[in-house]
Structure 1
């Protein structure tokens, strides 16, 4: 897990009982000792490992953005009527999303590099025409 600390806010009968930081290992241990309860998490880049889900935190948070204030806002958001919870991605869904994002980045970088090379070649009055196969058509090996 990428997250080094997890802010755990415990609310019982609409009263905050505790709001403390825990390591992922401490959280797992703590969670294993708790009675069945509703657990809500903020959805973020590292949250999928825990299947974390809650939205609207930024709109509900009453003070500065801190993990402690976010944890309290997440609890408050989870108690709203008609809140839309999200499901975590499966491992294969995470893999596909990662591959797709990497491919998208590679395509953007390829286009940017091609444009940069074309611009540099123009400084030497070398024009690359897409009709002649573009940059690859101009390079003789």
Structure 2
């Protein structure tokens, strides 16, 4: 079964990340949901809206990616995740994390979480004018999304 992914972030980040992902993975729409949380949003109403979005998106395992740990979008996502045994939550979403998650969305949920976290952290590096600093040498997995590596 293919995992579903929910982006929940301060507006307009979730939708912007989803649009970027659609550029790389045009077929991601059926597996990816984006939920932007406005600054003035009521957390109770926001949770209800997130629940409705997830229900509308079908069934099956769910990876929730939030932007900032402890902020309203994350807190709402955490409440959502508590209600579902087949849900995992990762805070600190960035585009490399999302792309990695989409690339490996057919893996077991816990494996998907590990891949997403690795993709997010590997996508962060200090870059000089000539070469990236502290970049690990990566073995390319030609069976999976090698453009991500």
> What TM-score do you get using the length of structure 2 for normalisation?
0.29
Q: Counting strand residues as a fraction of each chain, which structure ranks higher?
A: 2
Q: Counting helix residues as a fraction of each chain, which structure ranks higher?
A: 1
Relative contact order: is structure 1 or structure 2 higher (C-alpha 8 Å, sep ≥ 6)? 2
User: Which protein has the larger Cα radius of gyration, Structure 1 or Structure 2?
Assistant: 1
> What TM-score do you get using the length of structure 1 for normalisation?
0.30
